[in-house]
Structure 1
Amino acid sequence: MPNIVLKVPSGSFSPDARSALVQKVNEAAAAAERIPADPRKRSLCWVVVEEVAQGLWTCGTADITAQVLPCIAIVYVPAGVLDATARSRYVQAVHGAFKDAALLDDRRALATSVILQEVDDGAWGVNGAIWTLPTFARVAGFEHLQHLVAAQ
């Protein structure tokens, strides 16, 4: 049940490409977090695409967006959901989502930064209440964490 913020240079992805990007990022989240193919559970994956205006994306002090397509994904996920293998697969899949969604006529080199931000247990609020890992496991259906639900 992640919250994902994607930052891309303004105008770099067409509406169809943005839609494909969001779809593939959702698929990456579901696979890495082992969320079942239940639409109610998958709807808990929130993705926000923020477009950064020209001239506001710099590396060092230079705007490199003419040569490079920089893309950032910040993924907030409850601590305890991902192990090292899942983190690695998640990063690869999100990079692949950016790569697959990039416009074919865009000749810039793709550069991605995927940040997996694991939120400490008891530090995530949902609709005014604090949720813990067993609650996330129950609601999101994390297949590998159902033993936490049974223990409640």
Structure 2
Amino acid sequence: MPLVEITVPEGTLSEAAAQVLQQRVADSVLTAMGLPHTDFFASATWVYVREAAKGLATTGAGTPPGVLVVVTPLEGFLTPERNETLSVEITREAREATGTDAVVWVVVNEIPEGNWAVNGALTRRAKIDEFVAEAARAQ
């Protein structure tokens, strides 16, 4: 389901701060997509934190970049308003985790239905909607 990749300059985050950031971003993405915070959806939300080694990431001005967050959800879950709210939350969460006022880029790359597979099976919106309905009935 949603995949999130966070890239930070080397040495920017402690392991503990990275773990907190991963959980907060996962929660924010689920909320923005309108998905329930169940074990199923939490386990299907993957968040990677990667460090860019010193000298391997730069801006055009030759300075170290800030934080890059790429959110990859299935198409149709995020409206422009939800994207904006998500971007504000992720920026706040990244700045809290790094303890800086870093520039935070949030890029949302929606994947069209039929272009995402898990274990060889295409992920379909109708199936996700079934899981959401099932979670609602279980409450």
**TM-score of the two chains, using structure 1 as the length reference:** 0.81
Task: Give me the CA root mean square deviation.
Answer: 2.0
The unaligned stretches of length 5 or more in structure 1 are 147-152
Of the structure 1 ranges 20-29 and 35-44, higher mean CA displacement relative to structure 2 is found in 35-44
Shift of residue 52, structure 1, vs aligned partner: 0.3
1:115 aligns with 2:111: no
**Alpha-carbon distance in 1 for matches of 2:25, 2:4:** 9
**Alpha-carbon distance in 2 for matches of 1:21, 1:47:** 9
Shift of residue 21, structure 1, vs aligned partner: 0.7
On the 8 A contact 2:95/2:102 being kept in 1, the answer is yes
1:138 aligns with 2:130: yes
Shift of residue 136, structure 1, vs aligned partner: 2.6
Task: After TM superposition, list the pairs within 5 Å mapping 1:61-80 onto structure 2.
Answer: 62=62, 64-65=63-64, 70-80=66-76
The unaligned stretches of length 5 or more in structure 2 are none
The 1:12/1:36 distance shift into structure 2, 3 A limit, reads: same
Q: How many pairs does the alignment contain?
A: 135
On the 8 A contact 2:27/2:37 being kept in 1, the answer is no
- Letter of the 2:45 partner, please give it: C
- Letter of the 1:97 partner, please give it: E
2:88 maps to what in 1?
92
Structure with the greater alpha carbon radius of gyration = 1
- Letter of the 2:34 partner, please give it: R
**TM-score of the two chains, using structure 2 as the length reference:** 0.88
2:59 maps to what in 1?
59
**Alpha-carbon distance in 1 for matches of 2:121, 2:36:** 24
Shift of residue 96, structure 1, vs aligned partner: 1.3
Structure 1 or 2: more strand by fraction: 1
Shift of residue 142, structure 1, vs aligned partner: 7.9
- Letter of the 1:130 partner, please give it: L
Extract structure 1 runs of 4+ deviating beyond 3 A.
Answer: none
